[in-house]
A and B are shown apart, each in its own frame.
Chain A
Amino acid sequence: MKHNIIHMISWIIPISLSIIVVSCKDSWLDPKPLSFYTPENAYMDASGFEATLAACETEMFNEYNGDGCPILTEMIQSDICVEGTTDKAGPQMDMDKSLLPDANLNNMDYTRVGWYWEHGYAAIKSANVVISRINSGSFTSDAEKNKILGQAYFHRAYWYYKLVHQFGNVPFLDSELTEPKTDFYSSDRWSILAHLQTDLEFAYKWVPDNVDRGRVSKSACGILLMKIYLCLGEYQKAIEIGNAIVADHPLVTERFTSNKTKPNTNLMHDLHSVEAKLDMSNKEGLMYIVSYPNIEGSTTSKLMRNTLPRIVGVTTPDGLSGVVYTKNVEPQYEINTIYGRGIGRARCTNYYQYTIWTNKEKNDLRGVYNRDSWKSPADMWYNDPKLKSKGNIYYGQHLIKNPAMSVEDSVRSWYQWPHYKLFVPDPLSSDWYWGGETPMYIYRSAEVYLLMAEAYYWMDQPAMCASMLNVVRTRAGADPLTAGDINIGSILDERARELYYEENRHVEITRIAYIYAKTGKTCEYFGRTYSLDNFSGPGGAGSNIKQEGINFWYDWVNAKNNFYNKGVKHRWAEYKISVHHVLWPVPASAINANTNGVINQNIGYPGAEKNVEPKLVSSSN
């Protein structure tokens, strides 16, 4: 028996000891990540860096896609659109109430102002990771390395360009952060722009033009550099680059793609179709974001949901719901799959629906006179098969606007829209066509012409300005302008005609406002000059100044948008803007979490009294 015990111990103890030994080995407790990369194993060669550039491109994509996507905020904080969802509290209608630092600033049912802040910096983080780690990667050539570095510079500049026009002076981060930091300060926006200029000059030099669609090209770097040049008064340099870009990227002037024979379409339908962006003969695009049905990583654009009126609420005069989005409608009255279904998140203003389409645009393929290009609720039909089966006289007739339609309903359900630009097939939806997956343009050479026109405008060369605008106008069928027609309005109007749902409308108007304020150039349109000193007005939280002459953004939007400050109101809000909304509120969460430093709040919002002098960013790399 004793022997047995000894025998037992002789094998139990070694087992136990071996466990102790295993346990005590340091490697036993090494963390082993299995299914995700860490920076240490991700940035070995070009493909790792390119994957992170792809992350920047995902942020770029997300601005334009999905329900209540951020681009709508840029459109609503301008002259072309207002928030049209009049069935709930919260949306950005009365900016005095909805644009506050503590408010919900990143929510599709409120505003996406905060999205630009959060995701702009998220993309900058990824770009900075690439920039900071570029020297630790191994590349096949300096050219390859510089291409990637240049593309990272582009992405960083792409977002800072937006941020300095949306939020003014913002913190500038130029490298990867590897540990928690809470001592940030805002940087002077002009010095940030100067830094971006240097970066983009490098990028323009090294990034090749021939890249896959969705990646950053030389021309993309070029057009962004043009915008920076405009900001900084380097108009001639902007024109030089512009000319180089358009030489390689002519506008499309002939009908193309498989749609070219489709009835009730025109060149503009072709240019903005899904097929156009996959067509290699199309050289007009400079930078793309990519998405496509059944391709992984794609998401539905929700373009029609966001931008079309909500006509489902339009009833027949005898009180029946007459519009259906189901499959059993007669083909000639089909609405769902031909036009899509909207809820009116961005409702076109009269400026965009009527004002900018003058006699000179009678033949403009982009304009409301072309009823293939534009559609109105009155172009749709009462299509509910039930009406037919009951012998209702309204079946198959065009929709009739109810004379007793309430303000809410008319804001939301009765306006025209540029069908050629907003329709995206939604083949994976068996229900309502909200807008499917599609590649989109971020930059086209049409905008390059418009930027060159603007450069000539700032250089007081109206004839050259007109000739640049006319390249774009002529292609669309509009009458050419003469030097005498030129003022800042001609540029802004043309941008609205050409770049709806493409440009950041608020950013571009603000850019112009900054140039007026910086240069002191007289704005002939209002007969005023502006200054940087009181760009956001006199300030004071809650003062909500509605006085003209302080900044161009307010004057222009107040003048052109037929909702803001015109007494248009409904159950939820009155449409209002104030001068300080030229710049958006910095989200309070960013300021609050930055306990050891000061991130400035913009003048006019609560908290601006704590501001300190912004830091200067050095421009040398």
Chain B
Amino acid sequence: MDLYSNNEQIISKHLLKKVFNIMRSTIILCLLATFCSFAEVGYSQKTELSLHLQEVTLQEAFNAIKAQSDFSFWYRSDEVNLSKKVSVNADKQNIYNVMNQLLRGQELTYTIDNKHIIIYKKGSSTKEFQILQQNKKKISGKVVDQNGAPVIGANVVEKGTTNGTITDIDGKFTLDVSSNAILAISYIGYKANETPISKDLNSIVLKEDNEMLDEVVVVGYGTMKKKDLTGSISNVKAENLSAQNPRNVQDILRANAAGLNIGIATDAKADASLSIRGKGTLSASSDPLIVLDGVIYEGALADITPEDIASIDVLKDASSAAVYGAKAANGVIAITTKKGKNGKPIINLNANISVAQSASQPKILDAASFLKFRQDYNEGRNSDAYLAKYPQMFTNPFELNGLSQLDWYNYDQKKPVTSVTNDQLTTQWLSRLNLTTPEIENYFAGKITKWDDLVFQNGFQQNYTASVSNATDRTSQYFSINWADRKGVISGDRFTNLRIRANLESKITSFLTVGLNSQFSSRNEGYLKCSWNQMTMISPYGSNNIGDGSIYQRRPTGLDPINPFYDNLYTDRKDLHQNLNAKLYAQVTLPFGIQYVMNFTPYLSVYEYYNHYSSKGENHTATGGSSTRKNTKTFNWQIDNIFSWKKTIENIHNIEATFLINSEKSQFWSTTAQNSGYSPNDDLGYHALQSGSVPLVSSNDTYQTGDALMGRLFYSFRNKYMITTSIRRDGYSAFGKKNPHATFPAVALGWVFTQEKFMEKQNNWLNYAKMRLSWGENGNRDIGQYAALAQMTSSQRPYINSSGTLYTTSQMYVSTMANYNLKWERTASLNFGLDFSIFKDILSGSIEVYKAKTNDLLVNRALPNITGFTSVTANLGQLQNKGLEITLNANIINTKDFHWTASGNFSMNRRKINKLYGDMVDITDEKGNVIGQKEADDETNGWFIGQDPDRIWAYERLGVWQLNEKEEAAVYGCQPGDFKYKDQNGDGIMDNKDKIFQGYTTPRFRWTLRNELTYKDFSFSTVMYSYWKYYGAFQRAANNYSFPDRTSDYDFPRWTSTNPINDYARIGSKNIGTNYVNRSFIRLEEVTFSYNLPKKISQKFSVQALRLSCSIQNLAVWSPDWNFWDPESGSVTPRTFNFGINVTL
């Protein structure tokens, strides 16, 4: 008889359960510890115990041993009397010695299998044990994930026994099992697997648990299992995206969470805007709150190394964000950085090199088209009478039609000449086309400059990260250092960043853990971009004369256009941000199961902006050089005191309570010193301000404080019904005059209805579904810390005293009107969510519907400017947002070697102003009779009751005035070739009455699509996103950007009398309105290809893992109507080719 086949008889049920409970609650730790013990020689030999017990029960003795070691005890309850009194005296003795003492005089004996101590009646079970040993066979196998990557630390147990092991770093395991055993394999985040040993054990595939229901997400001042969530939270696993070579937090988030909108990065710094759902404010900031490792983060996102990020949670609905109350109306982005992991130290090295090039770049005029441009301009700008008097005035003299070159030449000679040379003709022609002498010289010399080639470059970018992490039972560490050096696509653009992180945690006693998460960054933003937009200003005949000693070095044509590189040659700039952010924390276990956490979070930011314009540059000669030194320091701190309490009652009731006491203070100091007129020279630049003669100083300091109290209660019943309620009371000094405090409540409900009886029949297709409903209120305080006060602006004003001497004194005026009643903007929002998983997780996803109303809007309310103020900050009106977000994840193909998953999201948001200032105005009929009243719009700010603030209210463009519409155009002061806007009321005057509601300036729909394919060690992914149905101004289509007689332009189409098009105007047109063009686009944002070197090969070089990756960011963009630079940024946007290597040692 097999000893373990009847284990109910051998091992008490109760004990077994207890063991598994312990196992579960310490999952990785225990497993790794077990693994370690396997790797070592005999845990039982090595472990030393010290016990001094007199007359205790056997049970107590066992407990004492377990407290000092990892041993577990196995016995038949009918054979062992646990209440028997025993004594033991052991000082650094091994387990055998201890066991012998304990069992002395009893009819019991034991055997030790690693950490398992099996106790049995002397004699009776020896045989069985022998049988066990004989029947056992050694098996080995390998556990891998869907991508074929080894699963390290997976728990492999012989089913129905406690005989088990965990997989090693290659996913491999060896185990002695009985001949017909079934292996139960489990790992957190994966579905449990059972494999009979008769099957192929060399690649046991663990499937990812797609809902990741046990995944932990950040909910603010704590974490929660995803399955318990009641709010709307999107989780982004940063580690999964590392092959894409993200440059910053924004790159990680872009296109990865429905309802989170990330702007596009255009320069080397690659900063981009963030917003969650619709903008819920009119005047205050709409930036989401950033929470880093559980604490509100005031620093820059650029200071966070993307490789350090473990995951990011986006808290979208009001109840999730409500715990952050007064700051959370725009949603919360919670970033969690990596921690040390138990096991042997992991060293990770990551290197990326990239090349960025300008994408979607429009062409500029080349030499021939430039001359045609000037000819079209001049022919268009002169009157018909003039052109009749001087026919073919602007035609190339060698292409004249029926006109002698001499007559042509004599047009502008006071004394007509009798002969003319070819050079004279050409010179005259170019002069009529407004070319200046240097341009004419370059024409003759055939010297043509392609300015677009000069101002753009292939930007070389590098990014290196090294991190070390490890952990022991008592401490964990994660260190990283990152160096990024990126050149942008604009010549001169560069950004460097040094970032260091240290996350440390130490368990001081069983009830006290202290830790530190800290980061330092040093960002250099002082590199000078060339003035790239001069490329359309300087003609191809203007040349780059820098260094040639000529007077055309700064102004290549002698006129307005400036050489894009000149000014930077004589500018010396330091623009350095050095920021230190830290979280020091202590976790204390208090009686009654209360956990107390105190976070102290200081933030220190030092900024230096030093700039010198050298007198050697021709435009600064007269000032004798001028310099600025600006030093600013920001010091903020916050203290969070968090009390939390968790209780599970009979596995049915789960209760969690959290309570917060917080206070914060933020201070800022800024000093600026300037000087100019240096003597004897300004060679010392900004290092010797004392050598200047025109000193100026100024300073600006600010101070703000805040506090908060928050309580949250979570309750779930049978993991089926759950409720979260929270309330937060905030204080903020900006509203300190009259309304220092405000309270923000929230409540949320969840219902896993697939667990209901009546749904059981649907389980064949609907595996899991949860409904969520939440309501909450949040505040927005980002209006400026002194917005409630009447502020006086002061500066210096010169006067002349009675002796004729100049002096200065302060001038000072009230620049903002006081409003002591100012308070928080409050957004109340309702969110309905549905999470589901169907067809055995082939398709899963969530649907969110929300409606938010912002009351007491912080607005810069327009005032009649006769008050001397154009606006006053006030709490007025109501803005509404509603929207829909759909997220879908699909496992399309899932075979042993090939996997294809796709995920996508769709979101839309609609805004509407419900109320503004409450001023009522009369509605009149056509005769002027009052027929009712309505609330007044704010035309000045473009805010209309019942309309989206993003709605375009403007003249309606019909096309271009054509030749046969000359008279009609003249009514509006326009001419053929100018943009034609509709006079809606036909009164011959274009004014606000002719403005109508048109499209929107924000996308009506957004969608993203991500595909990931893996084949053995190769993986391939793509990301696409699209903004649909929105409009942007394209004023350059009016062809009147600059002065065409002095400048060049992009190679745009243009209206001429012989090319009567409707979408571009004549050169130098008069444009009385705004030309809106549809910006809708689809972008292929990311294509990534990566290869994991097989372990077999890499380990020959002592490398645990090695990944090579290639990716292209912003590979292509398709915009049917927009063709001027990138449709999203409207400006220079890079396309980046990355190559990355990641090595784990």
Q: Interface on A for B, CB 8 Å cutoff? A: 1, 4-5, 8-9, 12, 15-16, 19-20, 22-24, 26, 28-39, 42, 48, 50-52, 54-55, 57-58, 61, 87-90, 94, 96-98, 100-103, 117-118, 121-122, 124-126, 129, 170-171, 173, 177-182, 184, 210, 212-215, 277-280, 288, 290-292, 294-298, 312-313, 315, 317-321, 324, 326-328, 384-386, 400-408, 427-431, 439, 541-542, 569-573, 587-596, 599, 606
Whether the pair A35, B591 counts as a contact (CB closer than 8 A) is: no
Whether the pair A36, B431 counts as a contact (CB closer than 8 A) is: no
C-alpha spacing A591/B1069, complex, angstroms: 31
Instruction: Tally chain B residues at the interface, Cβ within 8 Å.
Output: 136
Closest 5 A/B residue pairs (Cβ): A125-B868, A319-B431, A89-B1070, A54-B811, A23-B707
What would 15 more interface pairs be, CB under 8 Å, given A170-B866, A319-B431, A594-B864? A4-B511, A8-B512, A16-B641, A36-B793, A182-B864, A213-B799, A294-B677, A295-B806, A319-B424, A321-B431, A324-B551, A403-B414, A589-B939, A590-B866, A595-B917
Whether the pair B808, A126 counts as a contact (CB closer than 8 A) is: no
A489 → chain B, closest Cβ, in Å? 32
Of the candidates B412, B428, B865, B1040, the one whose C-beta lies within 8 Å of that of A117 is B865
B992 at interface (Cβ–Cβ under 8 A)? yes
B1101 at interface (Cβ–Cβ under 8 A)? no
Whether the pair B588, A33 counts as a contact (CB closer than 8 A) is: no
Whether the pair B701, A35 counts as a contact (CB closer than 8 A) is: yes
Tell me which residues across on chain A come within 8 A of B429, comparing CB atoms. Answer: 319
Stretch from B88-96, B133-141, B282-290, B784-792 forming part of the interface with A = B784-792
Whether the pair A55, B623 counts as a contact (CB closer than 8 A) is: no
Whether the pair A19, B797 counts as a contact (CB closer than 8 A) is: no
B1039 → chain A, closest Cβ, in Å? 12
C-alpha spacing A466/B961, complex, angstroms: 56
**Interface 1/0s, chain B 765-786, versus A by CB < 8 A?**
0000000000000000000011
C-alpha spacing A177/B814, complex, angstroms: 11
B975 at interface (Cβ–Cβ under 8 A)? yes
Tell me which residues across on chain B come within 8 A of A5, comparing CB atoms. Answer: 511, 590-591
Of the candidates A315, A408, A593, the one whose C-beta lies within 8 Å of that of B863 is A593
**Interface 1/0s, chain B 546-559, versus A by CB < 8 A?**
00000100000011
Whether the pair B991, A29 counts as a contact (CB closer than 8 A) is: no
Chain A residue at minimum C-beta to C-beta distance from B799: A214
Tell me which residues across on chain A come within 8 A of B413, comparing CB atoms. Answer: 317, 403
Tell me which residues across on chain B come within 8 A of A181, comparing CB atoms. Answer: 863, 867
C-alpha spacing A431/B641, complex, angstroms: 61
Whether the pair B798, A214 counts as a contact (CB closer than 8 A) is: yes
B515 at interface (Cβ–Cβ under 8 A)? no
Chain A residue at minimum C-beta to C-beta distance from B973: A97
Of the candidates B701, B799, B808, B865, the one whose C-beta lies within 8 Å of that of A118 is B865
Chain B residue at minimum C-beta to C-beta distance from A94: B973
Q: Are A173 and B1070 also in contact (CB < 8 A) when A317-B413, A402-B412 are?
A: no
Chain A residue at minimum C-beta to C-beta distance from B921: A595
Tell me which residues across on chain A come within 8 A of B863, comparing CB atoms. Answer: 180-182, 593
Counting chain A CB atoms within 10 Å of each CB, the highest count among B705, B737, B987 belongs to B705
Q: List which B967-1021 residues lie within 8 A (CB) of chain A.
A: 972-973, 975, 987-993
Tell me which residues across on chain A come within 8 A of B1070, comparing CB atoms. Answer: 89-90, 572
C-alpha spacing A215/B806, complex, angstroms: 13
C-alpha spacing A428/B693, complex, angstroms: 13
B300 at interface (Cβ–Cβ under 8 A)? no
B1068 at interface (Cβ–Cβ under 8 A)? yes
Of the candidates A117, A173, A430, the one whose C-beta lies within 8 Å of that of B622 is A430
Of the candidates B381, B733, B872, the one whose C-beta lies within 8 Å of that of A31 is B733
Tell me which residues across on chain B come within 8 A of A118, comparing CB atoms. Answer: 865, 870
C-alpha spacing A290/B818, complex, angstroms: 31
Q: Are A430 and B1040 also in contact (CB < 8 A) when A19-B641, A593-B862 are?
A: no
Counting chain A CB atoms within 10 Å of each CB, the highest count among B621, B707, B798, B1043 belongs to B798
C-alpha spacing A5/B810, complex, angstroms: 61
A587 → chain B, closest Cβ, in Å? 7
B796 at interface (Cβ–Cβ under 8 A)? yes
B527 at interface (Cβ–Cβ under 8 A)? no
Q: Are A296 and B989 also in contact (CB < 8 A) when A321-B436, A326-B551, A590-B866 are?
A: no
C-alpha spacing A181/B868, complex, angstroms: 11
Q: List which B540-578 residues lie within 8 A (CB) of chain A.
A: 551, 558-559
Tell me which residues across on chain B come within 8 A of A125, comparing CB atoms. Answer: 813-814, 867-869
Q: List which B194-248 residues lie within 8 A (CB) of chain A.
A: none
B164 at interface (Cβ–Cβ under 8 A)? no
B1037 at interface (Cβ–Cβ under 8 A)? no
**Interface 1/0s, chain B 921-956, versus A by CB < 8 A?**
100000000000000101110000000000000000
Q: Are A52 and B703 also in contact (CB < 8 A) when A178-B817, A178-B818 are?
A: no
**Interface 1/0s, chain B 487-524, versus A by CB < 8 A?**
00000000000000000000001111000000000000
Whether the pair A296, B696 counts as a contact (CB closer than 8 A) is: yes
Counting chain A CB atoms within 10 Å of each CB, the highest count among B413, B731, B790, B872 belongs to B790
5 residue pairs bridging A and B, Cβ less than 8 Å apart: A23-B709, A36-B792, A212-B801, A294-B676, A571-B381
Q: Interface on B for A, CB 8 Å cutoff? A: 380-383, 386, 390, 393, 411-414, 424, 427-432, 434, 436-437, 440, 509-512, 551, 558-559, 588, 590-591, 596, 598, 618-623, 639, 641, 661-663, 676-677, 693-694, 696, 699-707, 709, 731-737, 740-741, 785-786, 788-804, 806, 808-814, 817-819, 861-870, 872, 874, 917, 919, 921, 936, 938-940, 972-973, 975, 987-993, 1040, 1043, 1045, 1068-1072
Of the candidates B437, B699, B802, the one whose C-beta lies within 8 Å of that of A320 is B437
Tell me which residues across on chain A come within 8 A of B510, comparing CB atoms. Answer: 1
B243 → chain A, closest Cβ, in Å? 45
Chain B residue at minimum C-beta to C-beta distance from A86: B381
Whether the pair A122, B868 counts as a contact (CB closer than 8 A) is: yes
Whether the pair B800, A290 counts as a contact (CB closer than 8 A) is: yes
Whether the pair B511, A8 counts as a contact (CB closer than 8 A) is: yes
Tell me which residues across on chain A come within 8 A of B987, comparing CB atoms. Answer: 541-542, 606
C-alpha spacing A184/B865, complex, angstroms: 11
Q: Are A30 and B808 also in contact (CB < 8 A) when A406-B386, A588-B992 are?
A: no
Tell me which residues across on chain B come within 8 A of A38, comparing CB atoms. Answer: 789-792, 818
Chain B residue at minimum C-beta to C-beta distance from A576: B973
C-alpha spacing A597/B422, complex, angstroms: 72
Q: Are A595 and B919 also in contact (CB < 8 A) when A50-B809, A88-B1043, A129-B814 are?
A: yes
C-alpha spacing A561/B791, complex, angstroms: 46
Tell me which residues across on chain B come within 8 A of A98, comparing CB atoms. Answer: 973
Q: Are A317 and B414 also in contact (CB < 8 A) when A23-B661, A34-B701 are?
A: yes
Tell me which residues across on chain A come within 8 A of B662, comparing CB atoms. Answer: 23
Whether the pair A592, B939 counts as a contact (CB closer than 8 A) is: yes
B334 → chain A, closest Cβ, in Å? 23
C-alpha spacing A293/B203, complex, angstroms: 82
Of the candidates B382, B709, B991, the one whose C-beta lies within 8 Å of that of A101 is B991
Whether the pair A31, B788 counts as a contact (CB closer than 8 A) is: yes
Chain A residue at minimum C-beta to C-beta distance from B665: A28
Whether the pair A180, B817 counts as a contact (CB closer than 8 A) is: yes
C-alpha spacing A57/B1069, complex, angstroms: 40
Counting chain B CB atoms within 10 Å of each CB, the highest count among A35, A118, A184, A570 belongs to A35
Q: Are A404 and B867 also in contact (CB < 8 A) when A35-B700, A541-B987 are?
A: no
Tell me which residues across on chain A come within 8 A of B872, comparing CB atoms. Answer: 180
C-alpha spacing A51/B693, complex, angstroms: 26
C-alpha spacing A321/B542, complex, angstroms: 14
Tell me which residues across on chain A come within 8 A of B590, comparing CB atoms. Answer: 5, 9
A435 → chain B, closest Cβ, in Å? 14
Q: Are A36 and B866 also in contact (CB < 8 A) when A212-B802, A403-B412, A407-B383 are?
A: no
Whether the pair B431, A51 counts as a contact (CB closer than 8 A) is: no
Tell me which residues across on chain B come within 8 A of A37, comparing CB atoms. Answer: 792, 794, 812
Whether the pair A177, B868 counts as a contact (CB closer than 8 A) is: yes
Of the candidates B919, B990, B1040, B1043, the one whose C-beta lies within 8 Å of that of A596 is B919
Q: Are A30 and B701 also in contact (CB < 8 A) when A89-B1070, A177-B868, A212-B799 are?
A: no
